[in-house]
Amino acid sequence: MILAALGKAPYTNSSKHMFENPDVKINKLFLVLSILPLVGLGLIGVSLHAGLSLFFTSALVNSFLFYMNRSKNEAEFGSLSYCIHIILTSRKIAKLNKDTDFLKKTNNLRKAPFIGVLLLKDDTTGTNIILHILTVLKAIFLLEYLIFHYIIHLLHHNKDLYELAWKKTAELDFFYSIAIWRKTLPYYCVPTFNGEGSFVIHEAYHPLLQNPVGNDFTFHKNCLLTGSNASGKSTFMKTIALNIVFSQALNTSTSKQINLTRGPVYSTMAMADDIEKGQSYFLSEIIALKRIFDTVNTDKQSFFYLFIDEIFKGTNTVERIAAAESVLNYLNDCKQTRVMAATHDIELTEMLASKYTNYHFREYISNDEIYFDYLIKDGASNTRNAIELLRITNFPKKVYDDALKKIAEQSK
C-alpha cells in the first residue's frame, strides 16, 4: 500500500539529486520581492495609501514572476515533488519494519516532505478552496520559488542520506515486483552458481509461453542446433539466454533447477536490415558478430555466453558455410566462452562435429498435419520435411514434383 501510494511519475529524474550539483543559490532579487508584500502590510499602520500601494504592486509583480517561473520549471517541480514522496515512502517503510537505525540516519530529511506539501499543484477541478488560497499566497510571497530552492539545498547537503532513502525504496520495489512476477509463473527456482564454466538446467521454459514445454539441458560444451523453422530452435536459445540473465539479475530462473557460471550474454538474434542506414541484413549480422569478437578479445577475465541464430543466413550457401565454420572455430578456441548457434546447414554439423555438440528439434507429419513436440534431442537433424510442406499447404503439384525430382538428382 505504501508503494502504491508513491505510484510512478513519468519523465522525472529522481536519481539526479544523488549525482548532480544543482545551483542552490537563491536569487537575492526574488528574496527581496518576497518580503515586500509583508513590508506593505506593515506600512498600512503608518500610511494606508503607501502600504496598500506597496502591497498590491509587489503582489502583482510577484504573481507574474510566480507563473512565469512555474511554467519554465514545471518539469523540475514535478521531479522534486517525486523526490519528496520517495523520502516520505522510505521513512514509512522504515516505520513499518521498525527500522529505527534508518529513521535516525534520515532524520535531517524529515523537513523536506513537511515543507514540500507547499509545492502541491493547483486544483484543476476548481473545487478545493484551500488549494486556491494556498496558490494565491504562494504567488504573492513567491513561496514556491523559496521552498523549491530550500529543498534543493537540503538534498544537496544530504546527498548520502537521500541516496540511502532512494535505494531503500527502489530495492523494496524491485523485490516486490519480482515476488509478484514469480506468482504468475507455472514454476521457478532460485539459481545456484559455480566457477567451473558449467551449466545445467532442468525443465527450462520461456516465461512468455502460455503452455510451455520444459527442457533439460547441459551446456558444458559449445553446441549447434538444427531443425526446421518453427520447431523451437530460436525459442530454446532465448529460453537459455533469458535464464542466464534472470538468474544473475533477478535471482530467479524459469526452470525447476539451474546451476551455472556467472557471465554476460551476447547474441546475434533478431537481426534486421536498416533502410535508413542503408544496412543489409547480412551487414547487420556482421556488425553484431564483430561486437562479440571485440568484447571477447578485449575482456579475457569474464566468462561469456554467446547465442548466434541462423548464422550468416543473409548470404549465399557457399560463403555462408565457409564463413560460419571459420567464426565458430575461432570462438571455440576462446576458452572463456560458451557458444550456442542455430543453423539450417547440415554440412556445418559434420565439419564441426569434433568441436561442437549437435542437438536438434523435430517436426512430425501425420494425416497431412505438422506437429512439433518442442523437445530438444541429441544429434543433428536428419529429417527433410520442407518439400513435404509444399504439398501439405497445397502448392501446385508440378512445384512439389519438380522439387522432389531435384532432391533425387542431387542425392545420386
Higher pLDDT pick, 65 / 115: 65
Among candidate residues 134, 114, 138, 156, the one with its CA nearest the CA of residue 30: 138
Please tell me the distance from the alpha carbon of residue 65 to that of residue 32, in angstroms, as a whole number. 13
Report pLDDT digits (tens) over 45-89. 889 999 999 999 999 999 998 888 776 666 677 788 888 889 999
Query: According to the model, what pLDDT value does residue 117 have?
Result: 64
Query: Is the pLDDT score of 191 beyond 90?
Result: yes
d(CA 121, CA 124): 9
Assess whether 143 and 246 both reside in one domain.
no
User: Which has more confidence, 150 or 305?
Assistant: 305
Question: Does residue 25 sit within a domain?
Answer: yes
**What is the pLDDT, as a whole number, of residue 383?**
73
287-337: pLDDT as tens digits = 889 999 999 999 988 999 999 988 888 788 898 899 999 999 999 999 899
**Are 15 and 144 in a shared domain?**
yes
- Cβ(255)–Cβ(215) below 8 Å: no
Count other C-beta atoms under 10 Å from residue 115's C-beta.
Answer: 16
Segment 381-388 mean pLDDT:
76
Residue 396 placed within a domain: no
Whether 205 and 325 map to the same domain: the answer is: yes
Instruction: Verify that 171 and 198 share a domain, yes or no.
Output: no
pLDDT at 24 over 70: no
What is the value of pTM for the model shown? 0.77
Task: Pick the closest to residue 156 from 216, 108, 211 (CA basis).
Answer: 108
Whether 411 maps to a domain, the answer reads no
C-alpha cell at 189: 527456482
Return the pLDDT at 388: 75
Say whether pLDDT at 123 is over 60: no
Examine the domain organization and report whether 167 and 217 are in the same domain: no
Whether 101 and 199 map to the same domain: the answer is: no
- Domain membership of residue 210 (yes or no) is yes
Cell 539450417 belongs to: 344
pLDDT score, position 125: 59
Average pLDDT, the chain: 87
Residue 400 in any domain: the answer is: no
Identify whether residues 121 and 63 lie together within a single domain: yes
Confidence of residue 356 (pLDDT cuts 50, 70, 90): very high
Tell which of 131, 158, 184 closes a domain: 184
The verdict on residue 289 lying in a domain is yes
Answer yes or no: is 403 within a domain. no
Where a domain ends, among 184, 201, 230?
A: 184
What's CA 3's distance to the chain center, in Å? 20
Q: Are residues 218 and 140 in the same domain?
A: no
Instruction: Please give the pLDDT value at position 203.
Output: 98
Q: Is the pLDDT of residue 3 over 70?
A: yes
Q: What is the pLDDT of residues 213-258, one digit of tens each?
A: 999 999 999 999 998 878 899 999 999 999 999 999 999 999 999 9
Query: Residue 1 — pLDDT band, cuts 50, 70, 90?
Result: very high
- Confidence category of residue 275, pLDDT binned at 50, 70, 90: low
Q: Are 222 and 179 in a shared domain?
A: no
Q: Is 266 helix (H, G, I), strand (E, B) or coil?
A: strand
What range does the domain containing 254 cover? 192-381
**Based on the domain organization, do 163 and 215 belong to the same domain?**
no
pLDDT greater at residue 304 or residue 365: 304
How many domains does the chain fold into? 2
Assess whether 155 and 299 both reside in one domain. Answer: no
Looking only at Cα atoms, what is the longest distance across the chain? 116
CA 404, CA 402: separation in Å to the nearest integer?
Answer: 5
What whole-number percentage of the chain has pLDDT above 70? Answer: 92
* Cβ contact 77:143 at 8 Å: no
CATH number of the domain that residue 234 is part of: 3.40.50.300
Domain boundary residue, one of 161, 184, 207: 184
pLDDT at site 254: 98
| Co-location of 326 and 251 in the same domain | yes
Residue 327, C-alpha cell as written in the block? 567464426
Lowest model confidence (mean pLDDT) among 13-22, 207-216, 257-266, 330-339? 13-22
For residues 233 and 380, what is the distance between their CA atoms, to the nearest angstrom? 12
- Which pLDDT does position 92 carry in this prediction? 94
**Calpha distance 204→92 (Å, rounded):** 39
Q: Confirm whether 398 is domain-assigned.
A: no
Q: At what angle do helices 129-141 and 48-72 cross, to 10 degrees?
A: 100
